[in-house]
Amino acid sequence: MTLRGGDHRSGKMPAVDALEVLADLCSGDQIVVTNQGSARILPKLRRRPLDFHYNPSTMGGAVPLALGLALAQPQREVLVVSGDGSLLMSLGVLVTVVKAGVTNLAIVLLDNGIYEVTGGQETPATPAVDYCGLARAAGFASACSFQQLADWQARAADALSEPGPRFIRLAVQTAPNDYLRFPTPPMDEQLAQLRRALGAAARS
């Protein structure tokens, strides 16, 4: 595989490749919520009715929105991709997820240590915060971290089939500009598409 963008010597995986692994593993009836940088990268990799690219958003809102979907649709898996800056805006949501008792939710954290879409300023969490430790302490059933793309490729399927709620932290490089500038699909179009997909599934 060709690595795209970023500094290959950083010891972190390229964000685009990390999301590509995720895209290949997502099942047909799974809801995928993206946010901030991932809401620009994933639509460039694939388009799918049950993908909801939450942009424009409120920072920190992706996980609670995905939790609402997981509560409303307990028969299907919900996966949310959040940036570290967004999660830091609302760390308490890890506790909210556990208290809500959902097992059909997976949080995938893209941890690059910066606010990527605003130009790359450092978050307060640099040099390092143990996000998996925070998730475990909040009561997540499983939490694991990946730094190298090869490890993530080899173990992603297992990590995503651990008991829920699941927390997966991926150490990623900054994304290439041509991905970050890719437009998120219009919100009205996305909402209509998601509602149609959920409604069709409910009728079938």
Partner 1 sequence: MFTGPEIVATLSELGVTHVVWVPDTAIGPWEAALDAAGSLRLIRVCREGEAWPLAAGLHLGGKSPLVMMQTTGLFESGDALRNVLFDLKLPIFSLIGLRNWLTRDRTTRPRLMPSRSCGRGAWNASGSCGRTTSQNSPRTFAAAAARACPAWRFWRRARHDASRRRSSLG
Chain positions 164 to 203 lying near partner 1, rule: CB under 8 A, are 187-188, 191, 194-195, 198, 202
* 68 versus 176: smaller Cβ distance to partner 1: 68
Chain positions 108 to 167 lying near partner 1, rule: CB under 8 A, are none
Please report how close the Cβ of residue 62 comes to partner 1 at its closest, in angstroms: 7
Please report how close the Cβ of residue 107 comes to partner 1 at its closest, in angstroms: 14
Please report how close the Cβ of residue 147 comes to partner 1 at its closest, in angstroms: 29
Please report how close the Cβ of residue 130 comes to partner 1 at its closest, in angstroms: 19
**Over the chain, what HEC string results?**
CCCCCCCHHHCCECHHHHHHHHHHHCCCCCEEEEECCHHHHHHHHCCCCCEEEECCCCCCCHHHHHHHHHHHCCCCCEEEEEEHHHHHHCCCHHHHHHHHCCCCEEEEEEECCEEHHHCCEECCCCCCCCHHHHHHHHCCCEEEEECCHHHHHHHHHHHHCCCCCEEEEEEECCCCHHHHCCCCCCHHHHHHHHHHHHHHHHHC
Question: One symbol per residue from 43 to 72: x for binding partner 1 (CB under 8 A), - otherwise; what is it?
Answer: ---------x---xxxxxxx-xxxxxxxxx
- Site size toward partner 1, by CB under 8 A: 33
Within a 13 Å sphere around the CA of 16, how many CA atoms are in the beta-carbon half? 21
Please report how close the Cβ of residue 59 comes to partner 1 at its closest, in angstroms: 8
* 46 versus 195: smaller Cβ distance to partner 1: 195
* 56 versus 127: smaller Cβ distance to partner 1: 56
Among 1, 46, 92, 178, binds partner 1 (CB under 8 A): 92
Distance of CA 92 to the CA centre of its chain: 17
Please report how close the Cβ of residue 60 comes to partner 1 at its closest, in angstroms: 6
First to last CA, the chain: 38
Interacting residue ranges for partner 1, rule: CB under 8 A: 52, 56-62, 64-73, 89-90, 92-93, 95-96, 99-100, 187-188, 191, 194-195, 198, 202
